[in-house]
Structure 1
Amino acid sequence: MSDPTGFDVRAYMRDPLQVRPTDLDLPALGDLDPATLEALTRLEAAERALLHRMRDFLVTPTHAESRVTAFLTTWAYEQHWLVQTLGAVLAANGRAAGQDRATALGRLRRARDERLGPVLGAIASNLLGAETTAAQMLTSRLDTAVLAESYRRLGAAEPRLAATTGAVVRLKERHLAFFTAEARTRLAAGPGARRLARIAVSRWQWPGTRYTARRTRTRPAADPEVRAALLGLHPELGLGLHPERAAGAAARRGPYGTRSVRTALARITRG
């Protein structure tokens, strides 16, 4: 498997990072405070949602991208154990994992998505072609960056979780490296890929909140530190610009991608 982006997929597949329930002293984590449990509940829901969304990628032209599908095989393995571990911590505190927090409208939307989403998404993306992969890599990078920042903050707030969240952040950093490398290469391929990426980023949603109440979507996006971390991604969101255009684009409207992220954050905070 060639390595055009600088990320060694073979090495990644040989050495998955596993965060398992057996790695934790669960009895020592059985009295976490309500705010920490709420954060863990949201993270568990977000990680499960990402597993489902990545599955949908495989009915788009991305399924023909051998590097991406090889990466996602190991990514899904790591993701599975992460979801199990978060669920085990919740269970140690008397909370059931996988709770359905969808509103009535959210349940209707989810039923529609499950029935029609993969088909409609496949039709649309196949009409648009392989350029859709750039958009998928970029929104996956946003998802991963948001979650990595959330784990950092959780570990700082609850020292008993610091070792676990530190391991998860290391796992997420590898995922970020892949999505960044793939996005860089694909955004450089042409204006079509960059146009689709801008649209996808402006429509991006906070992980795991598509079907939930408005407050679960608006609260994290309104956090100044999280917003700053997301907007701080803009230099790498602009990696697809041709060098000769980069200076002009930055002078006209700021680094490529920042406006799209701001659009998404504004929409999320409005609910």
Structure 2
Amino acid sequence: MSAGAPSTDGNVVATAAFDVRAYTTDPREIRPSDAGLDALTGLTPTTLDVVADLWRVERSLLDLLRDVLVTPAHADPRVTAFLITWTYEQFWLAETLAAVLEANGRPATEPPGGPLGRLRRTWDDRARPTVAAVRTNLLGADVTAAHLVTAWLDAAALTHTYRALAAEEPRLEPVLTRAGAVKARHLAFYADDATRRLAASAGARRLARRAAARWRWPGTRYAPVTAATARLVTGRTAAGTAGVGPSEVGLAHLDETVAALPGLAGTAPVRGAVDRLGRRRRPAVAASPRRA
């Protein structure tokens, strides 16, 4: 990370820039064969709800690659080099989460979603890439900083969820810690490149503030998360009562980290997303019968 950039845990440090070449030659994939699936059977339905939400988000992030590559970001060799290895790591992370579900008799499937979610999915599949290509190419290279900021937010939100789930279900701790280590390198790249771009351009800072204000908790565009994920992430009870426990402190820390980026002082996208997350959630899904 460049000098003065926020680290992955929110502290300001002075270190060298993220080494993309080293990252691309050392992928850190997590494969199902490495997850110790035999020890991960018999997980509770609420735990599986969270794993299913995580699988859905990690898998859907691969779809975002299509949107990014039609923007000016595709012309940046540093970004495209990073994305090649990022895609490889994302694919295997999603496959491993699917394998945990399968080991517990829960097929990895997308939730049905409501009419609005289906409409959004149709738009994203058929029209959004073209519209985004026109819009972002008119905005120019400054839009890449906005992509990096929202990518940081997505990865930070997922890391928060991994940590909370590992604390609640110790059997998942080894695989979720490895998932967090994969995300840590993603966070470092996003923070480093975003800091550099935001410091250099007022236009980039303006677009990034706008993108942060519109950011939503990952995976909620087509369907809300399950009640289990909303409770785990927010630390709120079914009645909606919030405490000042580890979840609340961790979420506030994420906003502090975003606000430390150039031009983003005073923003609190995580708090806004979490408030919406607690209001909009799916009911728990009953576990499917175990396969013979």
> Taking structure 1 as the reference length, what is the TM-score of the superposition?
0.86
Q: Which residue of 2 aligns with 1:77?
A: 88
Structure possessing the higher relative contact order (Cα contacts under 8 Å, 6 or more residues apart): 2
Aligned pairs for 1:136-175 (under 5 A) are 136-175=147-186
**1:222 CA drift (Å):** 4.3
Structure 1 unaligned regions, length at least 5: 243-254
Aligned pairs for 1:27-46 (under 5 A) are 27-46=38-57
Alignment deviations for residues 201-260 of structure 1 (CA, whole Å, 9 cap, x no partner): 110111111111486696666445545423323444245438xxxxxxxxxxxx715344
CA distance in structure 1 between the partners assigned to 2:165 and 2:272 by the alignment: 27
> Taking structure 2 as the reference length, what is the TM-score of the superposition?
0.80
Q: Which residue of 2 aligns with 1:63?
A: 74
SS of aligned partner of 1:80: helix
**1:170 CA drift (Å):** 0.7
CA distance in structure 1 between the partners assigned to 2:269 and 2:160 by the alignment: 20
Alignment deviations for residues 6-63 of structure 1 (CA, whole Å, 9 cap, x no partner): 0000100111101000002222212101111011000001101111112210000000
Change (3 A) 1:227 1:121: farther
Alignment deviations for residues 176-220 of structure 1 (CA, whole Å, 9 cap, x no partner): 100010111011012111111111011011111111148669666
Q: Would you say the 8 A contact 1:185–1:240 is kept in 2?
A: no
Structure in which a larger fraction of residues adopt helix: 1
Match of 2:33, as an amino acid?
Answer: T
Q: What is the number of equivalent residue pairs in this alignment? A: 256
Name whichever of 18-27 and 138-147 sits farther off: 18-27
User: Match for 2:123 among 101, 108, 112?
Assistant: 112
Q: Would you say the 8 A contact 1:103–1:212 is kept in 2?
A: yes
Change (3 A) 1:256 1:241: same
SS of aligned partner of 1:134: helix
Match of 1:135, as an amino acid?
Answer: A
Change (3 A) 1:165 1:265: closer
CA distance in structure 2 between the partners assigned to 1:90 and 1:158 by the alignment: 14
CA distance in structure 2 between the partners assigned to 1:211 and 1:220 by the alignment: 20
Q: Would you say the 8 A contact 1:49–1:207 is kept in 2?
A: no
Please provide the CA RMSD for this pair. Answer: 2.3
Identical aligned residues as a percent: 48
Q: Would you say the 8 A contact 1:5–1:185 is kept in 2?
A: no
CA distance in structure 2 between the partners assigned to 1:53 and 1:101 by the alignment: 20
Structure 2 unaligned regions, length at least 5: 1-14, 236-241, 281-292
Q: Which residue of 1 aligns with 2:5?
A: none
Change (3 A) 1:84 1:121: same
Change (3 A) 1:167 1:262: closer
Q: Which residue of 2 aligns with 1:128?
A: 139
